[in-house]
Amino acid sequence: MTDTDVVVVGGGPTGSAAAVFLARYGLDVVVFDRGSAALPRAAYVENYPGFPGGIDVGTLTDLLSDHVETAGATLVDDLVESVERDDEGFRVATADGREPTASYVLAAAWYDGSYLRPVVGDDAFAVHEHHGEEHERFDPEFPERDGRTPVDGLYVAAPNGGRNAQAVVAAGQGAQVARSLIEDDRRAEGFPPALATEYDWLRPESEFAGEWGDRDRWREWFANEAGDHDLSEERFAELRERYIDRAFATRRSPEAVEELTAEGHRRLAEHLDDAALLDAADDDAVREYAAELDARTDPSDD
């Protein structure tokens, strides 16, 4: 048995997005993040969607790390030095002497792929010319676009083609490769190919109105989507009920959405400068809030 399900190497936009998707799915994920990275080299980020005024690198990095840990992954400040095959998966060796084992490894460190040489061999490396000098580097064309590689259980989100040059593109690539890993994991469990793809989204309660609020309707749909399969009746029923349970677990009422919205805004505000928040807020709203706060904390009310 391995120490963890997935080791993600690199905690930038690529690795963070991958870790969030993997951890939210329910896999045990450890992210090792130390070493050279592209994002800190930027002076400021102006093209990451959702930040119309741009976002400073430090705040974006903190938000990524916070999201990784909130999703349930473990973030470790350590440098991965090598990845080797283990009897049950992979053994990862780090600069600080850690040697965790994992069922899967997802590489998301664009700066250097030499730590993968023990598991991918020399054929995964190619000579590149940079500023007139030749260097041997991990071949970004070694992995497929979806991150799959010839090594079972190894996924490479970075370096991967030209899909790591911009932070938002890198984040999307990390999420896509994570979905490839999850799909393969589900297939290994026995899910029919048409039902192995994972979609991570919360559904409004209205999506489950009418016939789609009936588990028997979902069972009928699942059987139609599964088509021909070689699963036992018992195993098929087990996977079907798990699928339906997971679908119903995404249901959110309007009240729940309001609570999620308030919590999301609060968590975002924790990463922003207090002065900037106060400056952006409506003055009357600030005064009203302050008055309400004073009323709630007035000792005379005790």
Hey, what are 75's tokens? Answer: 């973030």
Where do the domains of the chain lie?
A: 4-187, 190-252, 254-297
Confidence category of residue 299, pLDDT binned at 50, 70, 90: low
Confidence category of residue 300, pLDDT binned at 50, 70, 90: low
What DSSP letter does each residue of 203-261 carry, written as one string?
Answer: EEGGGGSGGGG-HHHHHHHHHHHH-S----HHHHHHHHHHHHHHHHHTEE-HHHHHHHH
Averaged confidence pLDDT in the chain? 92
Q: Is the pLDDT of residue 236 over 90?
A: yes
Q: Lowest mean pLDDT of 16-25, 93-102, 107-116, name the range.
A: 107-116
Q: What does the pLDDT look like over 180-232, one tens digit per residue?
A: 999 999 999 999 999 999 999 999 999 999 999 999 999 999 999 999 999 99
Average pLDDT over residues 114-119: 94
Confidence category of residue 48, pLDDT binned at 50, 70, 90: very high
Domain formed by 4-187, architecture: 3-Layer(bba) Sandwich (3.50)
pLDDT at site 130? 66
Q: Could you tell me the pTM of the whole model?
A: 0.92
Determine what percent of the chain is predicted with pLDDT higher than 90.
75
Q: What does the pLDDT look like over 244-296, one tens digit per residue?
A: 999 999 999 999 999 999 999 999 999 999 888 888 888 877 788 788 878 87
Q: What does the pLDDT look like over 4-14, one tens digit per residue?
A: 999 999 999 99
Whether cis (ω within 30° of 0) applies to the bond prior to 159 is yes
Q: Is the pLDDT of residue 178 over 80?
A: yes
pLDDT at site 136? 80
Report the C-alpha gap between 193 and 191 in whole angstroms: 6
| Longest CA span, the chain | 76
Report the C-alpha gap between 35 and 18 in whole angstroms: 18
pLDDT at site 210? 93
Average pLDDT over residues 108-133: 85
